[in-house]
A = this chain, B = another copy of it.
């Protein structure tokens, strides 16, 4: 036995007991004939003490020669501390050491193993196993563990069955790029890693599993952005004999359960909004409802008064920023610069300060009378002290810019509190979206999403207007899950493939097994998938999913700790029937 207790276990009630602890040396202090050692493990920190008067010279020499992060076993007696530390659960006691053994020495770590570290991100990625030693980092993964446990408990209680679907599947041209795996035993052929278990979970519904879930790794070979990882984890769920309402209720319940059990938060009612409404009011299909600041159209009000930029615009949009009339010229210039950045792309910004009912000051006073501005203010429901911000241009782009500006203002005004959670279902997504590059419609969700029955006739006349039985769950402006009621009959599925530009042959080759399955008695079904990494980040109050992944990859898709990917031996390639084809 290496230890009788962990470093977080001992209390006043243990005083007098002889104990053995093992852990890492957090620090050693040496003062006035006393040596203190802080010993750390996952469970806590316990103070060890040695006294020059009572400890052997050898033991003292041993103690003072310990370095940070040495792995040590210590035997001694629990005693009450003279000066207690009420910040530490073990702060009432310390251990008077009788024997010390170094289980493993440690080189000086390349950065401080403390909550606040001096290590840069690259260094911490390379030595991820040391970064994970920091309490603040490890706690993120402990949160993830608790969330996994609670997801499983909730779904198990609701009669969901967890089924593992294969990782080695088949490449499909639809959607993002697949990672592929050459087959040694089937020369010239490849497996693909799943972007999601979509077709398998639908087949499980055809099999009568009724309620399926899986917490599962998925893979996308996309160009990585800051908050993307080539492998990520989903909570993947599917139910048979359900309508949209059943799914919304069941998974609202899941999220409510997680907030209650993991965070001790009673989640408020989940609001609902159509996609069209979200785009109109927030310029965005995942609005952050922690603050209001809705987007309004001012096109009719603001055109025809001789301001050329507005007069030429397809649309003029405005928001009312409450209590921000005091923004200085400098602050407003900074905002204007911000909206003009290439990432946002606006050409300019118009503001109106509503100082009082009769004192409105704008950046376009040349073109608009006080009465004009007062009309705008009224339309935006602005009162004294509020600031109006207006953007104009082509509708879709302006709406997007306005959405960004709204979020920025929410941020600046401190309205995006990480401890407030505003959940929202966004409903009735479009079925298809036009893709300029390929010159055809793509499935907005995926090709298995069902169109609304009443919109099916529009497929031939106005495909972009067809609404889907699709829904996203959004919390605080972050999409944490999305799903749909699926197509469950061959005719509709084939119609869908046709509208997505698949030839019959292509549809058969890629999804023949699913089309065929629909002919053997497929029940109505639907489901949802949650981005588990992102859900953890929301719960942990962090912006980056990377913090919630034990061994993440960097933006180039590399694991810098193990140095992967890496080259293969020629014999290995040969066995796999492939050769390198590098561009010069």
Contacts and interface: CB of A to CB of B under 8 A. Distances in A.
A327 interface: no
Interface stretch (A148-156, A288-296, A338-346): A148-156
A489 interface: yes
A193 B559 CA distance: 14
A511 to B, nearest CB: 9
Contacts of A145: 156, 161-163
B579 A104 contact: no
Contact of A521 (B69, B241, B512): B69
A199 B489 CA distance: 47
A521 B104 contact: yes
A539 to B, nearest CB: 16
A209 B581 CA distance: 42
Contact of A188 (B165, B167, B209, B567): B567
A432 to B, nearest CB: 24
Interface stretch (A200-208, A370-378, A434-442): A200-208
Contact of A206 (B129, B162, B517): B129
Interface string A168-210: 1111010001011111111111111100000110011011111
A418 to B, nearest CB: 24
Interface stretch (A215-223, A310-318, A328-336): A215-223
A82 interface: no
B582 A550 contact: no
Contacts of A184: 177, 221
A164 interface: yes
A42 interface: yes
Contacts of A246: 1
B190 A566 contact: yes
Interface stretch (A57-65, A396-404, A474-482, A568-576): A568-576
B138 A209 contact: yes
A50 interface: no
Contacts of A522: 71, 104
A88 interface: no
A216 to B, nearest CB: 9
A578 B578 contact: yes
A569 B192 CA distance: 13
B138 A207 contact: yes
A366 to B, nearest CB: 51
B551 A200 contact: yes
A364 interface: no
Given A188-B582, A562-B199, A582-B188, A179 B181 contact: yes
A559 B183 CA distance: 12
A221 B127 CA distance: 30
A31 interface: no
A580 interface: yes
Given A133-B207, A567-B189, A559 B182 contact: no
B558 A186 contact: yes
A3 interface: yes
A245 B567 CA distance: 41
15 contacts: A22-B523, A42-B209, A106-B521, A132-B204, A141-B161, A142-B161, A164-B550, A165-B550, A167-B217, A181-B193, A186-B557, A186-B565, A187-B583, A577-B583, A578-B580
Interface of A: 1-3, 6, 22-24, 40-43, 69-71, 103-107, 109, 127-130, 132-133, 138, 141-142, 144-145, 148-149, 152, 156, 161-171, 173, 177, 179-193, 199-200, 203-204, 206-210, 217, 219, 221, 223-224, 230-231, 233, 241-243, 246, 488-489, 512-513, 517-524, 549-551, 553, 556-559, 561-569, 572-583
